[in-house]
């Protein structure tokens, strides 16, 4: 299969030196790309800024912002059979990026934020033969929110985890399917989980 994986955080710049982001290291996304390549698939990795080297044998496309990632992923969607959307994409961005470094001033600073495009939702609307796997990082009511996201975005699978997965080597995860099945994995390394997820998503 031809598989597109997204990884890492996005950065939404406030000015020339400051940005909004999150704690994603990109390690899970890179593990997914590596697992898919080792299982014999052709892999495209669209990744936000990380400190990781690209997996061998994988086409790597670096991006910075959510809009950058949206452009690259939607532009390649018709070429692929499966998208595994693991990136931690910022939901919002500043309405205006200041071209120079903002100088400190007395008093409060108000930052106006506007929504970023929803990449998974856009893919869910366009999909034909493609399969879609998303991730839901939740702090509470995880199953409820993950199931809602699965349905709203027309996904085939969604992987539920929590913020402790960021930067951790071993993780717990719950896989929900569009058919209503649930599978739990406990204390797996990210490479082990990645292999399980790729096998699940590529089975006939």
In a domain, 193, yes or no: yes
123 falls within a domain:
yes
Answer yes or no: is 83 within a domain.
Answer: yes
Tell me whether residue 43 is in a domain. Answer: yes
Is 107 a domain residue? no
Residues taking part in catalysis = 22
* pLDDT of amino acid 18: 96
The pLDDT score that the predictor gives to residue 175 is: 97
Predicted confidence at residue 204, as pLDDT, reads 79
pLDDT at residue 138, rounded to an integer = 86
Q: Can you spell out the DSSP letters for the chain? A: -EEEEEESB--EESSSS-EE-----SHHHHHHHHHHHHTT-EEEEEE-S-SPPPPTT-EEEE--SHHHHHHHHHHHGGG-SEEEE--B--SEEESS--SSPPPP-SS-----EEEPP-HHHHHHHH-SS-EEEEEEE-SSSHHHHHHHHHHHTT-SEEEEE-GGGTT-SEEEEEEEETTS-EEEEEEEEHHHHHHHHHHHHH--
In a domain, 100, yes or no: no
Intervals of the chain under pLDDT 70: 165, 167
Residue 101 lies in a domain: no
* CATH assignment at residue 33: 3.40.50.10300
Number of compact structural domains in the chain: 1
Res 120: pLDDT: 96
Range(s) of the domain holding residue 128: 2-94+113-202
99 domain residue, yes or no: no
**What local confidence, expressed as pLDDT, does residue 139 receive?**
84
């Amino acid at each position: 299969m031809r598989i597109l994986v997204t990884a890492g955080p996005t950065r939404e710049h406030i000015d020339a030196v400051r940005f909004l982001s999150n704690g994603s290291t990109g390690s899970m996304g890179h593990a997914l790309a590596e697992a898919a390549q080792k299982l014999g698939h052709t892999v495209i990795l669209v990744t936000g800024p990380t400190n990781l080297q690209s997996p061998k044998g994988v086409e790597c496309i670096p991006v910075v912002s959510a809009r950058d990632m949206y452009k690259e992923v939607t532009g390649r969607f018709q070429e692929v059979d499966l998208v595994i959307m693991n990136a931690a994409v910022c939901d919002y961005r500043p309405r205006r990026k200041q071209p120079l470094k903002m100088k400190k001033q007395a008093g409060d600073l108000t930052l106006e934020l506007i929504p970023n495009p929803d990449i998974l939702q856009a893919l869910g609307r366009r999909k034909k033969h493609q399969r879609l796997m998303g991730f839901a990082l939740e702090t509470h009511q995880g199953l409820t929110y993950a199931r809602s996201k699965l349905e709203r975005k027309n996904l085939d699978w969604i992987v539920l985890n929590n913020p402790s997965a960021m930067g951790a080597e071993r993780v717990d995860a719950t896989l929900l399917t569009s058919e209503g099945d649930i599978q739990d994995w406990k204390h797996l390394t990210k490479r082990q989980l990645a292999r399980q997820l790729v096998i699940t998503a590529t089975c006939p």
